[in-house]
Structure 1
Amino acid sequence: MTTRRKFIQLSALGASLLPFGKSFAKGHEGQKPIVLSTWNFGLQANVDAWKILSSGGRALDAVEAGARVPEGDPKETSVGLGGLPDREGKVTLDACIMDEHGNCGSVAFLEHIVHPISVARKVMEKTPHVMLVGDGALQFALANGFKKEKLLTKESEKAWKEWLKKSEYKPVANIENHDTIGIIALDAQGNLSGACTTSGMAYKMRGRVGDSPIIGAGLYVDNEIGAATSTGVGEEVIRIVGCHLVVELMRQGNSPADACRLAVERILKKNPEKAKQVQVGFLALNKNGEYGAYCLQKGFTYAVHTNDGNKLYDGVSHF
């Protein structure tokens, strides 16, 4: 079964990929434009986002373009088209997007649409609402020109049928236990935007929604301060309204790296035993282009694209 832990082929990235880096708790110095994405597939997402940023484009357009890359990849089992289904064999998608003005849009429990991030943007731009869910989100998508498609791939269906033999819900950290691409960017004009999209936890209960489509939990952008996104077990992120917390910690003067660390420590404090078994990671970027990340378990990676190239980093972990 293909998982997010599978490294993207270097040949797909061409000359834009530089050697692997290592993240330090002190974070990284500021640059702009800049785009950051969670996990290994963030490298390829960054390539598409960078095409927009490097030509002076808007951060909002960049994060949407980047998020669409794993959404449309049938080999990625935790986002979009290739997503693993719920325990009833249905693929349901969640996504949100937020711009530099505080505008935001979100969809949850959406079926049959390959690119929920683009539907979320339509919700932001064409409705008086922030979130649409389920059949209402699907109806809205179809009315706005999105095509209804079958999302369950043969590979994901095979994996689901194998899971049904025991029906044990014990997600493995850094495999089924994380389920998101979060992408945040600062453009040449100094404006921030972010996007987050997922197919949710593999073999979840029907109707389950995690942190990814929830503004303030899976994503938050404040153009005066910075932006943050998260990945991992969404329930733990929701409990602390994680990404809003990270941005507020930056507002208090903490670096992006320290803000992510303090948010992870908040999760640890609430349930230290459970925290040993799950993965949660935060990724943050401030208005000056400084960035950092922190996670519970080893194994969380994130990609950063600047004028210096596209690099993959290991997130500093508590355990």
Structure 2
Amino acid sequence: MKKSTFLHLRIPFSFFLSPVFFFATAIVSGYNAENFWLVFIILHFLLYPASNGYNSYFDKDEGSIGGLKHPPKVTRELFYASWAMDVLAIGLGWSISWQFAVMLLVYGLVSKAYSHPSIRLKKMPIIGWLAAGIFQGYFTFLMVCLAFSGPEVITELKVQYAGILSTLLLFGSYPMTQVYQHDEDARRGDRTISLILGVLGTFHFTALFFSVSVLLFAFFFQLYYDTQVVFLFILALSPILLFFLVWYMQVRKDPNNADYRRTMWLNFISGACLNIFFIWLIAK
């Protein structure tokens, strides 16, 4: 595998999506160490990197992208590697259940529709935003629950509520991942939701969804756990809120501060804080 292919898979970027996996693991029962690691590897080392690589192949970005500040030129190998990883993910998923394998297939096809020039959901600001939030959040959450506890678990009210919460968080955070790419997206003709909102509009939009999702998360944890869990959840979010507010004030002074470095720091802090909390909830 060429170095450029490996870099464009952006495997470390999967860390930013891992809170959905850990939240689902905390909610359901029935998993063991073997299927825990198998599902984790399928998602974070195969499915997500395959999606990243396929997206990079058709975008051919020259500026910074998520998890890759200086992307090298893509080659045809990246296209084939992305498909191969999708096929391997589905094959391994079949060993868990055929339903899980089908969900992996659906996720892979939607991620390709997001990037492929014949459909390119990325050019459709609302549909692209909905697709990313629903499939990286709600759909993936249900996929993990199904893998651990069987298809019947996804009809449970608690699981449905938690899955919706996962998507609400992503609805807010996803536009922030695009806030530094406005110039390149505009040149390519991609009308992302962040581009439509503008830099400050993206911050306001994210703040709104973050506030609503935190309130609904607090209600969820009070309903199914206790006040201690609510308090620790809000405490876990405090570093994210602090960084966001400081960054927002910097952007108000100079929109150029909405850059790659700060975006990646927000992603890292968000992923780390949420993962710590959800892993604690698993161990509780």
Coarse TM-score class (shorter-chain normalised) = under 0.3
* TM-score of the two chains, using structure 2 as the length reference: 0.28
Q: Which has the higher contact order (CA 8 A, sep 6+)?
A: 1
* TM-score of the two chains, using structure 1 as the length reference: 0.25
Compare CA radii of gyration and give the structure with the larger one.
2
